Structure 1
């Protein structure tokens, strides 16, 4: 299960790989609502998969109100049969005016780091407006996590850790997710949040 904060509900995931992909969708910030295995697509007589059905892994509603379907499958497990199924599902999505994406995994270190950031994604970890401004100012030219926390919370630097994490999760701070995280990890202020586009 993955807690989808925007709807205050849990999204069921069939595997850890699916849960990681949902984590990336959440981080991207473009999907407002997400449903797990929402329905079956029964392929008609004109389809090479006629007589078969497919349950897409997820249905998402984007922040602009549009919809899209998502399937998760590691690249190494996508065989010809799966490619055909995904192609036919994309055709159905196109007919409905929906987007479609096959999610095939991310760098494992980046996913692990994102998992760490996600622990602080909840509103309870948000800093006050004053603290947020101080963190953004401290990171304007790039600062280590240790330096930022010591600067904005000198009496208790660990208190600022969740503030830094939640700001990175919401893309207010830029951090290289592919690097090993430590107290020396450098964060910089993000003038504009990355799009993290979902095609």
Structure 2
């Protein structure tokens, strides 16, 4: 049962709903910080399903917050079937009350056998680059198997993005951009997300690339 109170993000550049491709549904986001963390969780590949503010925790006797309640920001079901809760709060906004609240929530999760983590943010440039890559995460940007094999072969040792595009699609290099970025999103190709992103960005074959495609 939904327990959220906020109407969510209202900004022309920040949709309140994030498309979660694993379940082909949307995850509701309350803030821009929350949307960025959902983006990183999606990229990690560790969470299979994600729900926004799905439950409320009522603190009982013996808790420092007895009589109070807390609504965690996200509930995740991981690829191994386990569950976990997340709270999103930039590090500079975590005060003493929040530390107690998060600590009590962690204790309850521990008793349930759930994971718990407070997500405090990422490097701004890395997040912006990941947001760019996410535009190619959809199935429509998947390269054909033969094309993917060629890209993996050409990226051994590392090649600039522009060069890879010219090799894969010599008649129309921009056509290959979505394929290459899709593979980077799936972590078949490694890139330095914290560096300035351009046609000179080096893409390198990830060690686990072939295994991930086989899955």
Question: What TM-score range do you get, normalising by the shorter chain?
Answer: over 0.9
- 2 CA distance for matches of 1:85 and 1:192? 39
Task: Say if 2:59 is the partner of 1:72.
Answer: no
**Structure 2: gaps (5+ residues):** 1-16, 210-215
**What's 1:126 paired with?**
142
**What's 1:90 paired with?**
106
Deviations 1:91-121 (A, max 9, x none): 0100100000000000000000000000000
Deviations 1:136-190 (A, max 9, x none): 0110010000100000100000000000100000000000000010000000000
- 2 CA distance for matches of 1:140 and 1:133? 11
Matches for 1:78-157 after TM superposition, within 5 Å = 78-157=94-173
| Aligned match for 1:184, one of 200, 208, 212 | 200
**What's 2:4 paired with?**
none
Shift of 1:45: 1.3
Aligned residues: 193
Task: Say if 2:177 is the partner of 1:164.
Answer: no
Shift of 1:64: 0.3
TM-score when normalising by structure 2:
0.89
- 2 CA distance for matches of 1:192 and 1:85? 39
Matches for 1:54-73 after TM superposition, within 5 Å = 54-73=70-89
Shift of 1:35: 0.4
- 2 CA distance for matches of 1:174 and 1:157? 20
**Structure 1: gaps (5+ residues):** 194-199
TM-score when normalising by structure 1:
0.96
Deviations 1:43-89 (A, max 9, x none): 00110100100000000000000000000000000001000000000
> Which aligned segments of 4 or more residues in structure 1 are displaced greater than 3 angstroms?
none
CA RMSD of aligned residues (A): 0.6
SS at match of 1:101: strand
Matches for 1:30-49 after TM superposition, within 5 Å = 30-49=46-65
